[in-house]
Structure 1
Amino acid sequence: MKFPIHCPACDSEMSVVKLFCGSCETEVAGKFNFPTLMRLEPEEQEFVVQFLLYSGSLKEMANKMGKSYPTVRNKLDELIEKIKTF
């Protein structure tokens, strides 16, 4: 399930207003922004995780994913541009 970061009614970005500890039931209320990676789509988040696991080797990622190096490089460039807009 995708974590909702945009309002289903008006499409504005939502914010977290309450955190809860299931162990001791402590609650913290306030307005918290989503971390940058949480703003990415799940498949984009997975791409970032794979990038880290392959130590930033796009060549290895491309081989493992069965895609060309330029395709993987373009995906990384798209993510970089998207993150710059946050």
Structure 2
Amino acid sequence: MKLPIICPSCDHTLNVSQMTCPSCATQVNGDYELPTLLKLNREEQEFVLNFFLSSGSIKEMAKQAELSYPTMRNKMDDLIERVKKLQN
């Protein structure tokens, strides 16, 4: 099951309120904000993961996605702006 990150009623980012250990069933309850990277949608998270797996090479990512370097650079710039907004 995928972790929901957006409220289906009002489109705001959800917080985590409970976590359970799968080993011993210990439960932790509270109101915790999601880390910034988890606030990204699936596509954005995959982009960050691909960037990491390509050793931070936008050129390599562009090659693998069969896109031009400027197109991939623009995608990166858009994601950087999105992350900045999420951190504020």
Instruction: Give the TM-score, by structure 1 length.
Output: 0.92
- Residues 10-69 of structure 1: per-residue CA shift (max 9 Å, x gap): 222211111101210100011111111111111111111111111111111111110000
Higher relative contact order (CA 8 A, sep 6+): 2
Equivalent position of 1:56 in the other structure: 56
Identity %: 53
Number of the residue aligned with 1:36: 36
In structure 1, runs of 5+ residues without a counterpart are none
* Aligned-pair CA distance for 1:2: 4.7
Task: Name stretches of at least 5 consecutive residues in structure 2 with no aligned partner.
Answer: none
> Which 4+ stretches in 1 moved above 4 angstroms?
none
Q: How does 1:1-86 map to 2 (within 5 A)?
A: 2-86=2-86
